[in-house]
Amino acid sequence: MLLPKAVLAVAALAISPASAIWPVPKSISTGNLTLSIDQTVAVTYNGEPVRISFLDYLMTPPCREYLAETRLSDQTQQLSYAKGYAPPSGANFKSKDIVQGGLERAFSAIFQQGLVPWMLRARGSDFDPNLDRAGRVSKLAITQTEKDTKETFRAVAGAVDESYSLTVSAEGEAAIEAASSIGVLRALETFTQLFYRHSNGQASYTQLAPVKIQDEPKFPYRGVHLDVARHWFEIEDIKRTIDGLSMNKLNVLHLHITDTQSWPLEIPALPKLAEKGAYAKGLTYSPDEIADLYEYAVHRGVQIIMEIDMPGHVGIEEAYPGLTVAYDKQPYQLYCAQPPCGAFKLNDTKVEDFLDTLFDDLLPRIAPYSAYFHTGGDEYKPTNSLLDPALETDDVAVLQPMLQRFLSHAHDKIVDHGLLPMVWEEMVLEWNATVPKDTIVQTWLGEAAVGELAAAGHKVIDSNNAFYYLDCGRGQWLDFDNGNVWQALYPFNDWCSPTKSWRLIYSHEPTDNVPEEAQKNVLGGELPVWTETIDTTSLDSLVWPRAGAAAEVWWSGRTDAQGKNRTLLSARPRLGEQRERMLQRGIRGTPITQLWCEMNDVSRCQHDE
């Protein structure tokens, strides 16, 4: 049986490169013509010529010199110029600027950060095409068929049309059509993936012309959740994560911005929060930095959704004493899931006043950029109120109406500021809180919760810990003395072990086991990155390319046009290539197979029984 397989592998290698678009478009057809592309490509947006500063830059001597140096081993080239382009700042977004930014990044990705695909080709093979007689991509005409509105840039899930079409003719005429500027951004990411860089460093080419793509997402909400409270992250780390999201057509960054461990968010009306709550002076996010971050995301078709977790997970006792209970109480297991505990008092008007001050300061600053604000609500235990001198009870029959009042107060305020609330599932499923049907409920405890909430008519996000928790499977971070606990917990796996490999993530779809008629309420998914043991040193490698695996399922669905599940054999070479492209653009994801397997046909690394 060896022979047919070997023959097959050779045959596969002989064909032109796979159309490695990630996530795979809804419909795609490609040819085998080679076209080069250079800085003379004429770009228009709705018929008007667009001047692209990056293309001008390509003509300058330092850039020509830079491009002439080929550094095959240097897989991460910094985005010095792409980052240099700055769109006008402010919340008054113009479609033209959004598209311009997308074009600057796309051409920088093609010309400056282009991928020489040596690692995707057989060792020693002569993979560079001869471009002497190749045609050239001479124009890129972008047409936006509908007008963006203010709501395009702070959209409720599903409200923005992200669909697009992309064609490249055999003669080298490229065209993008999309209803929104966000659709144009999605198309431009696809466009960049058509091209490789020549080993001589002087040229870029596609071998897939003519190209015809029609594309749109399956799920409207596709996100990554980043905890910046267990560890603090530089704005650059967060921006780089946003870059990665947009490269994978993901559209939400959920920032879990406060917790009992730290409060890095500066609130001018409540200055002690960050003064006392930051891990160190300077490890904070100022109002200007927050605005800049939200804008940065909007320009990449990503919405930031900020979460201030409550009533549990609150560590403000040192800043504003008297509003919370259980801060740093032991044994912590009685009151919370991890040290230090801390929770707002229920049924306390001072807490409501505090929340009003907090929200009146914060929400007007973020409402121009986002449709949602997340109030957390996970892992809140009734035992907290045993420590509240005004309550001294853990009777849920007594506490439930108080919890409802707390939540309704917070959510009314959020709605007053023009935002929609989002909560973790426990508020509804455990605390029986009533929330309006436009409140998004985020699940993490499994498929049953998704199904139950969706069937009850809630809008649901799937963050199933069995598939989507990217921090899992790397062992305990708590310490224990020698003895029974040590023995019991040996070999120190964490609670959600094992690691969720991209292959596992790729097997799961948010609507799995959700009754058919309720599936429309499942908006999509979000991959939590809880950061007890993650900081800037490991962020990229833990998130990428695994978040890309979910991105393809959420954008393209798990099944292909024939209704069959896409196989790992079809996904792995493309996700591997996506990682290589992301490396070129400064995002250091981890390998998903050995280099030898990347260089050879996927059938040669297939695991047979």
Ligand X SMILES: *[C@@H]1O[C@H](CO)[C@@H](O)[C@H](O)[C@H]1NC(C)=O
Distance from the Cα of residue 553 to its chain's centroid: 13
Q: Which residues of 28-38 are buried (b: 16+ CB within 10 A; e: fewer)?
A: bebbebbbbbb
Residue with the two structure tokens 């605005």: 291
Least distance from ligand X to the Cβ atom of residue 506, Å: 9
Least distance from ligand X to the Cβ atom of residue 34, Å: 10
Q: For ligand X, give the closer residue by CB, 347 or 541.
A: 347
Which residue ranges make up the site for ligand X (CB under 6 A)? 31-32, 347, 349, 390-391, 396, 400, 431-432, 507, 558, 564-565
Which residues face 310 on adjacent strands? none
- The sign of the torsion formed by the CA atoms of 259, 372, 177, 32 equals positive
DSSP string, 71-105: -TT------TTGGG--PPPSS---HHHHHHHHHHH
Q: For ligand X, give the closer residue by CB, 233 or 431.
A: 431
Closest to 255 measured CA to CA, from 313, 294, 219: 294
CA–CA separation, 320 vs 271, rounded Å?
10
Least distance from ligand X to the Cβ atom of residue 594, Å: 25
CA–CA separation, 464 vs 450, rounded Å?
9
440-443 vs 459-462, strand pairing mode:
parallel
Question: What phi-psi label fits residue 446: left (phi over 0), alpha (psi between -120 and 50 degrees) or beta?
Answer: left
User: Where does residue 121 rank: exposed (0-12), middle (13-18), buried (19+ CB within 10 A)?
Assistant: middle
- Whether 317 sits among the annotated catalytic residues: the reply is no
3-state helix, strand, coil in the chain (%, to 5): 35, 15, 45
Q: What radius of gyration, in Å, describes the C-alpha atoms of the chain?
A: 25
Least distance from ligand X to the Cβ atom of residue 32, Å: 4
Instruction: Fill in the amino acid letter for 189.
Output: E
The DSSP element (H or E) to which 2 belongs, if any, is helix 2-14
Instruction: Fill in the amino acid letter for 270.
Output: L
Asked, as a colleague might, if the bond just before 436 is cis with ω within 30 of 0, I would say no
* Catalytic residue (choose from 65, 379, 452, 577): 379
Residues acting as catalytic residues: 379
